[in-house]
Chain A
Amino acid sequence: MQHPAFEEVTIHHEHTDDATFKKKVRKTTILLSVITVIELGIGLLIYTMHKGENPNELLVLMFKGMVCILTLAKAYYIVSVFMHLGDEIRNMIMTIVVPLLLFIWFITAFIWDGNSYKNLRNTYDKHFQETTMPAKHQHKEETKPVEKPAGKE
């Protein structure tokens, strides 16, 4: 179909016939739904692990990493199939994708910073550590006493 109002557009995308299009949309919908279901499954798995006595922190972290990767896969399908970014010319795709690469540094730096702030506070601010550390991570022999003095005055 020609777009008379947009003469600056040189190559018009050839639109696929209905059958191919419907097939592609159906495939992507099923794919997104299946990934979401898997994510939910992992979410519930993490929940049951947390309920257990001694959750394996490394395994929980691995599952969380898997959910992150699955989410990126979902994002890829939404952008490339639903938003048709994959059909545009390369230069245009790059002006969108390359700036977003900043996120790699952005996420690493800020998460690192948050973690470092926690470690520094736990080292130098014992009050912070005592009041916020969950009881099960504290020394096993002393069960956390209620803060009697605080409430009484």
Chain B
Amino acid sequence: MATTATAHQTKWWSGGKSPFNMEYGKLMMWYFLMSDAFTFGAFLISYGSIRFSQNFWPDPNVVFNAFPGAGHANLPLAFVSVMTFILIISSVTMVLAVHAGHKGDKQGVIKWLAWTIVGGLAFLGCQAWEWHHLITGEHAVLVDGQIDIIGQTTGGNPWGDLVSHDAALAALQKTPHETLISLAHQSNHALTHEQLAAMTDQQLIKEIKLDELHIREKGPIAFGGYFYGITGFHGFHVFSGVIINIVMLLMTKKNVFQNRGHYLMIEKAGLYWHFVDLVWVFVFLCFYLI
């Protein structure tokens, strides 16, 4: 390559030029991204450290098995793969936007930036659905010898080890009436709340289909904090990336870059956006795959 030969002959540190052959803003974006990589790395390694200190950790395929509109169907990894592909595709559209910028093609930049923003918003929408589903989910969990109904929050984890049939049956005997009504309702949607409320505890227990409920023990409490903390921090990066891209789109439309003579700002925004995709690759690995 011709540039490599020139690169060796150039006295990079003799002053008057960038020793790294890069404009200030882009170089600083790289260093910011490196520091951000350490932040995310620290979070993920802390998660790994806690996970290795536990005797039990929930299987991600059990936790993340829902899909919008699919009801209670067991679809492990399906939704998160949609999210992953959305981010990969939005990264590709960003590459195309940067390339259009190099050619000074204003319409191309506008088109591909707009698609990148759409991808980012789609990802955020998916994440909002996923969080909502996890937080409001109703799971039967064995707590202190009785059955409780909890969702995945930072204060509780319903994904412990499966409880044996006999143990679950014994726990039902001590479970409060209201909880039994909800459990019976989960097993039998045909009965109305009033009909269920009129039943005795023993009648309700008979209605409950234990094998379908998959009653579990409480899982490690740290799971929720790490999951919401790290995916939330990543989601915040996606959100700020979308804002940056919207600003870039408006500046492009107002001919700011055209008047400046170059579209290097798009390149810096592009670096940030690719980094968001890069982090997701690791979040996807640590929380959903292993």
Q: Is the CB of B88 within 8 A of A33?
A: yes
Interface size for B (C-beta < 8 A) is 82
Cα(A114)–Cα(B261), bound, Å? 54
Q: Is the CB of A36 within 8 A of B164?
A: no
Q: Is the CB of A100 within 8 A of B34?
A: yes
In the complex, which residue of chain A has the Cβ closest to the Cβ of B171?
A: A146
Q: Is the CB of B3 within 8 A of A14?
A: yes
B102 on interface, CB distance cutoff 8 Å: yes
Contacts of B17 in A (CB 8 A): 7-10
Contacts of A113 in B (CB 8 A): 49
Distance in angstroms from B115 CB to nearest chain A CB is 14
Cα(A79)–Cα(B282), bound, Å? 13
In the complex, which residue of chain B has the Cβ closest to the Cβ of A32?
A: B88
Q: Known: A33-B85, A36-B88. Is A74-B281 also a contact (CB below 8 A)? A: yes
Contacts of A40 in B (CB 8 A): 77, 81
Cα(A40)–Cα(B79), bound, Å? 11
Within 8 A of B (CB), among A72-88: 74-75, 78-79, 82-83, 85, 88
A-B contact pairs, 27 of them (CB 8 A): A1-B102, A3-B23, A3-B262, A8-B17, A11-B7, A25-B95, A29-B89, A29-B92, A33-B88, A40-B77, A44-B61, A47-B59, A47-B76, A68-B290, A82-B95, A89-B20, A92-B21, A95-B20, A99-B34, A118-B52, A118-B55, A129-B55, A135-B161, A136-B161, A146-B167, A147-B145, A150-B144
Which residues of A are in contact with B by a Cβ distance under 8 Å?
Answer: 1, 3-11, 13-15, 21, 25, 29, 32-33, 36, 39-40, 42-44, 46-47, 50, 64, 67-68, 71, 74-75, 78-79, 82-83, 85, 88-92, 95-96, 99-100, 103, 106-107, 110-111, 113-115, 117-118, 121-122, 128-129, 132-137, 143-148, 150-152
